[in-house]
Amino acid sequence: DPLQKVVEDSAFAGAPFEVQGAFFRAIRKLGSLAAVPFLKRQITRTSWLHPRGCENLRQLAEEALARIKRRGDTRRRILESSVS
């Protein structure tokens, strides 16, 4: 995935928070469940050059995972209610 490759580049941790957020929102919306392994990797990411940037990446990844989980729970409830 091209978006994931950009985020995984070591320089991305030094990008402005707004740019990082836009990439994570796009990955979450486009990748959904397929993005989960990638997002989990970002939670453990470290960098000597951009420690604050990696903290931002961890935060954004955690938020994206939480939203994917909530969306999945909502979809499951909708499916269950339509079957009943």
DSSP string, 20-48: HHHHHHHHHHHHGGGGHHHHHHHHT---S
pLDDT for 81: 59
How far is C-alpha 20 from the chain's CA centre? Answer: 10
**Which is more confident, 19 or 30?**
19
Q: Give Cα separations from 59 to 19, 32, 76 (angstroms).
A: 14, 17, 26
Q: Using one digit for the tens of pLDDT, what is the confidence trace for 22-46?
A: 999 999 988 778 889 999 999 988 8
| Global pTM value | 0.77
